[in-house]
Structure 1
Amino acid sequence: MDKKKSKDDPALAQNRKARFNYAIEETLEAGVVLTGTEIKSVRAGQITIGDGFVTINNGQAILTNVHIAAYENGNQFNVDPLRNRVLLLHKKQIARLNGLGKEPGVTIVPLKVYLKRGFAKVLIGVGRGKKQYDKRQSIKKRDQERDLNRRFKN
């Protein structure tokens, strides 16, 4: 029997605005506690993490304000699309995130949702809010890189 190489699936959802609005200092991979119909919707790519953030309550990391659309064939087993979902992390990781999240100007945001060996994973990032001039510098840098790529392409 040939073993298939474990190849990670591409991202099902990405939060591109997070990297623009925050300077991401640290990233962490976490599992998500989902119901049966929710994981089916996630696999179908019906998830939006643009407005999501992570809070720490009672020693648990909770993913808040992430929309997972109701599964169309789920009937009575569908749950609230905007419900809070528990993230699976070690106690030390949660304690570290709790300490970092209490600093002023620091937010914990989901960056990407993907499947890894059949399980839904969330890449969360600890981000410090950018000022307006930092955002302008990011735009300027991105435009310069595009311009260089166009010149070298021709």
Structure 2
Amino acid sequence: MKKTAYYALKLALIYFFFASLWILFSDQLVNVLSDNLEMYAWAQSFKGHLFVVITSVLLWGLARKNNRDLERASDIDTVTGLHSPSVFIRRADTLLRRANAQSCYMLFVVDIDNYTSVTNKLGFDRTNQLLMGVAH
């Protein structure tokens, strides 16, 4: 199952569980607390509005967490296990924004010449092993 489908299913199941518990227990609480019909109607309305607010906050929090998890998953290169270029760019941008006149940074770039020909000769699996070795 794809990650996005998994997260959507997880979100729906958590919502279903919470909503089911809310329906079961909030009706019992309203019945116990309200003696007259007017108070009962007010309590039911309040309970409905409170449910919408709580589930909206719950769904927002779960969606935010899932989006953060998906972003983190794309921050790691699947072959080398190193951070992706987008993480490097975000980190470099942060460092450069905080830099002052005395700050000094150095960047080393490792370039594998004729990488395409290496891939053609070794194949993808062995080239991935080569990249993992260089990364480590």
Common fold, TM-score beyond 0.5?
Answer: no
Greater relative CO (CA pairs within 8 A, separation 6+): 1
- Bigger strand fraction: 1
Which has the greater radius of gyration? 2
In the superposition, the TM-score normalised over structure 2's length comes to 0.24
